Structure 1
Amino acid sequence: MLPSGWTKNVLIEFNEYGLITNVSLKPNEAAQKTVGILLPSPVNVHSHSFQRAMAGLTESRGPNPTDSFWTWRKLMFRFLNQLTPEHIEKICAFVQMEMLEAGYATNVEFHYLHHQPGGTPYEQLAEMTNRIVAATLSSGIGLTILPVHYQYGGCNKSKLGEGQIRFGNTLERFSLLLEECRKSLKFLPKDSNSGLAAHSLRAVGQEDFPELVTLAGNSPMHMHLAEQVAEVEEVLEVWGKRPAEWAVENLPINSQWCLIHCTQMLPHEVKVLAATGAIVGLCPITESNLGDGIFDGLNWLKNGGTLAIGSDSNIRISLSEEIRTLEYSQRLRDKSRASLATEDKSTARRIFDEILTGGAKAANRKTGEIKVGKWADLISLDENHTNLIQAEGDTILDCFIFSSDDNMVKDVWSAGRHQVKNGQHINRENIICDYSKVIRELGELI
């Protein structure tokens, strides 16, 4: 799938760094690897890798009949107090392996678990980042690391709760942490990069945003925004505006920003935020799991907004299911079919194109197209899969997204690194062994 459309008999070459150097439509030489269906790989724009180890553990209802995101949040805080740097490294490697096997070539890690239980920094301030880097070396995924500033427990600048103190930094200490995180990237391939994140309006003081924007420079700037009703109500009560309204009026939001979730926006907020050029990072599986609400994808796209996709809590890592869940949420809300399709693009093709573009922008990564000068972030689909019999053009994507699972993914390259072969990660056995040991150990502690 080239920028010009579906094309047959194409030779793609890339250099030792993983940059595409040639796309020939009439190849006159044999390729080292022949594939039947080749797609650009989307970026996973939002992940908290450590939460993968909680998957399936919070699905029972407690004594509170209105069990919600905030109940889940309490359980998450209790869980993370058991996590060591060694645990984080093994969990992250497993998560990144699953991402690659699902078809993602890049992981944007929204990284806020910085310190020891009790909130004391590690001897190496960026110890947890170093562990994520080590995991990335094991998995081979492309990494965009986003150290997260998280200082307060609410809009009124309340102190961090017991479950939050491992996240906390003053702005001064965060700037030091950010510097150390950036240094750690020297151990990774050239395609990896960094950005910066403000956790949310609740966790950052209004007066600190200008300094955070300065620290970000030209790198990606991410933030959770308007995810939960309670968040909207708190920001409105304390700051006098709804989250999206306040952000647009008070922050220099542009295409450098990726705002995560935005499931609680009103129609006029959708229009105004779309006009800023910001990317909205949607995580439909997690948003469904937590009951966040349904993003207004139809009006967002009608207003020229840009989308990207992430796996967030990693309750389930599936590229095809994230896209499918997004589309089905629009259909259920509007009682319609093919909600995000256009006259010239099928549903899957429209969403896939959107997240390729949005993901590349959100990660500030040269990706999203099979084109000279871009990273060789590529997915090969199994052309012999039963669901692809007779499929051509955009129907290939529709079958991949709506009638199958990620088991249709055959090979994945991240910046030219061939990490998934015949549907399995090349280090799968060792990564799973290490992860299994961590889960057993955590099971004894919780």
Structure 2
Amino acid sequence: MNALFARHALLPDGWRRDVLLRWDDTGRFTGVTADSAPPQGIEQASYVLPGMINLHSHSFQRALSGLTEIAGEGPDSFWTWRDLMYRFALGITPEQMEAIAAQLFVECLRYGYTSICEFHYVHRAPDGALYADVAETARRVIAAAGSAGIGITMLPVLYSYAGFGAVPLSDQQRRFRTGPDDVLAIVQALEPLRGPMVEVGVAPHSLRAASVDGVRAVVDALPKERPVHIHIAEQQAEVRQCLDQTGRRPVRFLFDNLAVDTRWCFVHATHMDESEINSIAASGAVAGLCPTTEANLGDGLFPLPPFLERGGRFGIGSDSHVSTSPVEELRWLEYGQRLATQRRNVAVAHTGDTGGRAERRVGDFLWRAALEGGGAAAGRQVGALRPGYNADLLVLDDAHPNVAPPPELLNGFIFSGNDNLVKDVLAGGRWVVRGREHVAQRAIAARFLQTLAELRELRS
């Protein structure tokens, strides 16, 4: 039977006892009933959470993890890392992309992500030509999500220029080149794949890589409910270049030229002034924060306290995948703010802060806020144990000393130790992790290791 009885479950209105969860064969919850008696023959669990949404991923970069931590001759930065990433991307085949993505998705599931948003920009063949199927590489990543069992929002990327002022792309960027017609052709080709586990939106790469007219053409042609993601204001150099070219900072320039609403996700948005913070918060758009990658690349710290004070929404992503743990992203989101403000317990909601309820427990606030923002950014019915939503959930290890009963559970989950406390994972109504092991973990890992060997040989 498609059912689970939870002694404690995190529902939209908070922790509830004795919750009977049921789902159908399409992978959606049909019933979520608290204060139930445990039916005979139904599997039971002590502590159940909604699965987390990873709202920003470049899956192929998982194979780069650990390979860029070598100092160059001069100061290293995001821009020197980017050159290494470009060179790495030039030789990867579609088959290798699928193998790398599958390994990443297995890791994400094991640590508690049940959905992922793929900001996908390697569309062309190594020689720069389009594949016969314009959606070849996007299909490969979606296939990897299917084999791993994770829900995916595929975001084909508009990537037309190398910098502000329509600077032509370099030869190293030849696999990324797309215009509005290319992106819309990929979206159309992927249309038959949409369903409970797959959504398709778009992602203008950034204001330096896509013109305002190009962004408008893609967004206007997209169905109104589909998600739109964009990198913005990630680096100080990007802000300076935008000011030099347009006289405005990136977030302000975008708001002055395009209609922004709740389907937008602003990835990073690290460097903003007060008016830009106000604009994103007021629009209902989601800030897509990736603290481990932002730290790895030296981006800076997102201005979280003023953003929260204005009712801003956020979610988390693993981006370049130096970490695949939502716990680590949320922990470092909070710790970065503590270091910047020299305060403790920053990510909370005081009464009246956002028009919602107060939440003084940092772990509860972070997990629930990231669920809400991530669900909106994914454009799918995910992020809650609620009828009609995808049946995505995590069962925590009730035998582990770091797992305490509610109301202390999420604080311990996020801020106590480094063991993975996720024992079982249900995604789309399918058990994909049991006893901390993914059901296809060994086969997918073997193909990934073969791919790494192939890529090392290519570089040697």
Q: Secondary structure, in 3 states, of the residue corresponding to 1:208?
A: helix
Counterpart Cα distance in 1 of 2:344 and 2:273: 23
Counterpart Cα distance in 1 of 2:378 and 2:322: 22
Shift of 1:217: 2.1
Q: Does 1:100 align with 2:109?
A: yes
Shift of 1:345: 2.9
Superposed, which structure 2 residues align to 1:48-63 within 5 Å? 48-63=58-73
Task: Select the structure that is richer in strand.
Answer: 2
Counterpart Cα distance in 2 of 1:268 and 1:206: 20
Counterpart Cα distance in 1 of 2:395 and 2:38: 22
Q: Is the 8 A contact 1:150 1:199 kept in 2?
A: yes
The code of the aligned residue for 2:430 comes to R
Alignment-derived partner of residue 32 in structure 1: 42
Instruction: Rate the CA distance shift 1:40–1:31 in 2: closer, same or farther, 3 A.
Output: farther
Q: Does 1:245 align with 2:252?
A: yes
Within the candidate set 272, 283, 286, 1:265 is matched to 272
CA RMSD, Structure 1 to Structure 2 (Å): 1.3
Deviates more, 1:336-345 or 1:306-315: 336-345
Q: Does 1:382 align with 2:388?
A: no
Alignment-derived partner of residue 72 in structure 1: 81
Counterpart Cα distance in 2 of 1:330 and 1:3: 26
Within the candidate set 369, 392, 407, 2:405 is matched to 392
Counterpart Cα distance in 2 of 1:284 and 1:215: 32
Shift of 1:190: 2.8
String of CA shifts for 1:12-66, please: whole Å, max 9, x gaps.
00000111111222135235321110001121000000000000001111011x2
Counterpart Cα distance in 2 of 1:58 and 1:441: 18
Alignment-derived partner of residue 47 in structure 1: 57
Q: Is the 8 A contact 2:157 2:178 kept in 1?
A: no
Counterpart Cα distance in 2 of 1:288 and 1:272: 25
Counterpart Cα distance in 2 of 1:387 and 1:175: 48
Q: Secondary structure, in 3 states, of the residue corresponding to 2:215?
A: helix
Q: Does 1:309 align with 2:322?
A: no
Q: Is the 8 A contact 1:43 1:309 kept in 2?
A: yes
Within the candidate set 364, 374, 377, 1:362 is matched to 377
Q: Does 1:277 align with 2:284?
A: yes
Counterpart Cα distance in 2 of 1:195 and 1:94: 23
String of CA shifts for 1:272-325, please: whole Å, max 9, x gaps.
221111100000000000000000111111100000000000112111000001
Counterpart Cα distance in 1 of 2:380 and 2:293: 24
Alignment-derived partner of residue 337 in structure 1: 344
Q: Is the 8 A contact 2:150 2:197 kept in 1?
A: no
String of CA shifts for 1:228-252, please: whole Å, max 9, x gaps.
0111111111122100111121111
Alignment-derived partner of residue 402 in structure 1: 415
String of CA shifts for 1:158-182, please: whole Å, max 9, x gaps.
1111221101022222221221133
Overall identity of the aligned pairs, in %: 40
Q: Is the 8 A contact 2:117 2:153 kept in 1?
A: yes
Superposed, which structure 2 residues align to 1:100-249 within 5 Å? 100-183=109-192, 185=193, 190-218=196-224, 219-249=226-256
The code of the aligned residue for 2:87 comes to R
The code of the aligned residue for 2:381 comes to K
The code of the aligned residue for 2:399 comes to N
Counterpart Cα distance in 2 of 1:35 and 1:405: 22
Counterpart Cα distance in 2 of 1:31 and 1:20: 19
Alignment-derived partner of residue 96 in structure 2: 87
Q: Secondary structure, in 3 states, of the residue corresponding to 2:163?
A: coil
Counterpart Cα distance in 2 of 1:18 and 1:175: 29
Counterpart Cα distance in 2 of 1:174 and 1:129: 11
Within the candidate set 411, 428, 432, 1:415 is matched to 428
Deviates more, 1:393-402 or 1:329-338: 393-402
Runs of 4+ in 1 over 6 A off after TM superposition: none
Deviates more, 1:320-329 or 1:345-354: 345-354
Question: TM-score, structure 2 length as denominator?
Answer: 0.93
The code of the aligned residue for 1:230 comes to A
Q: Secondary structure, in 3 states, of the residue corresponding to 1:387?
A: coil
Q: Secondary structure, in 3 states, of the residue corresponding to 2:408?
A: helix
Instruction: Rate the CA distance shift 1:420–1:232 in 2: closer, same or farther, 3 A.
Output: same
Q: Does 1:441 align with 2:454?
A: yes
The code of the aligned residue for 1:410 comes to K
Deviates more, 1:23-32 or 1:256-265: 23-32
Counterpart Cα distance in 1 of 2:303 and 2:222: 29
Counterpart Cα distance in 2 of 1:358 and 1:444: 41
Instruction: Rate the CA distance shift 1:33–1:264 in 2: closer, same or farther, 3 A.
Output: same
Q: Secondary structure, in 3 states, of the residue corresponding to 2:171?
A: coil
Q: Is the 8 A contact 1:380 1:410 kept in 2?
A: yes
Counterpart Cα distance in 2 of 1:430 and 1:313: 23
Q: Secondary structure, in 3 states, of the residue corresponding to 1:386?
A: coil
Counterpart Cα distance in 2 of 1:216 and 1:305: 25
Q: Secondary structure, in 3 states, of the residue corresponding to 1:349?
A: helix
Q: Secondary structure, in 3 states, of the residue corresponding to 1:288?
A: helix
Q: Is the 8 A contact 1:320 1:406 kept in 2?
A: no
String of CA shifts for 1:403-446, please: whole Å, max 9, x gaps.
13361001111111110111111000000000000011111112
Q: Secondary structure, in 3 states, of the residue corresponding to 2:14?
A: coil
The code of the aligned residue for 1:198 comes to P
Q: Secondary structure, in 3 states, of the residue corresponding to 1:105?
A: strand
String of CA shifts for 1:135-164, please: whole Å, max 9, x gaps.
122101011100111011111111111221
Count of residue pairs brought into register by the alignment: 440
Alignment-derived partner of residue 6 in structure 2: none
Instruction: Rate the CA distance shift 1:178–1:38 in 2: closer, same or farther, 3 A.
Output: same
Q: Is the 8 A contact 1:144 1:193 kept in 2?
A: yes
Counterpart Cα distance in 1 of 2:133 and 2:243: 39
Q: Does 1:326 align with 2:336?
A: no
Shift of 1:71: 0.2
